[in-house]
Amino acid sequence: MVPSQQRLSAKLRRSRHAPGPLPAPPPTPWAPQRSGKQNLSAFIWSGCRGPRQIFETGSTLFSTLGFPLFDPLATATEAENPAELFCCRSPGAGVDGKGLYTPEGFVVLAGSVGRLENGPSIQGTNDARVRERLIAAGVMEVSEAGTITFPRDHLFRSPSSAASALLGRTANGWREWKNAQGRTLSEVKR
């Protein structure tokens, strides 16, 4: 400090109108950084106590933004309810699939069996490429019996894309998926 600043500082300290030194504010994770921007990520994660809470916070944020990435595809009660369970079968092709209709799309349940070969109706189309990608990603596995199986539940955008993936041909999923009473998905949900 320059001597003149020291004298002024001492004079202000003695004055009744001048406040005393202000206490330093407590450090907070959302305090402005050098650039003047707030540390938003530190603020979001400041209350988290561990990995589980971080996961739950992230799940809530994604769901709020319309991306239910960590939400289960189907709950156990939905899968056990025969009124909501739909089947897609083609005995000649060895197809036996089970699925559920949800607001997000159609979920093909784990253990569903589909046809391995692509039929002439989808060869060279997007449906054939989707099937190839699903096999490459491990969503559908090729079995020794010459069929494909779903090792875990998988969400499709529409009942028709789910039926095409199982049947290996073009399919209207609203007609192919039927419940235990033989009613089509269209009759039950539309």
Dist CA 94 CA 143 (whole Å): 12
- What's residue 42's pLDDT? 61
* 22-71 pLDDT, tens digit each: 666 555 555 555 555 555 566 555 555 666 677 777 777 766 666 666 66
- Answer whether residue 79 shows pLDDT above 90: no
CA of residue 7 relative to chain centroid, distance: 65
* 121-144 pLDDT, tens digit each: 998 898 899 999 999 999 999 998
User: What residue ranges do the domains of the chain occupy?
Assistant: 76-189
Give the tokens for residue 10. Answer: 């001492």
Burial of residue 172 (number of CB atoms within 10 Å: 0-12, 13-18, 19+): middle
Give the three-state DSSP class for 27: coil
* 86-113 pLDDT, tens digit each: 999 988 888 999 999 988 889 999 999 9
- What's residue 26's pLDDT? 59
Dist CA 169 CA 127 (whole Å): 8
> What is the Cα Rg of the chain in Å?
30
What number is the average pLDDT over the span 162-181? Answer: 93
Which of 3-7, 52-56, 162-166, 167-171 shows the lowest per-residue confidence on average (mean pLDDT)?
3-7
- What's residue 76's pLDDT? 47
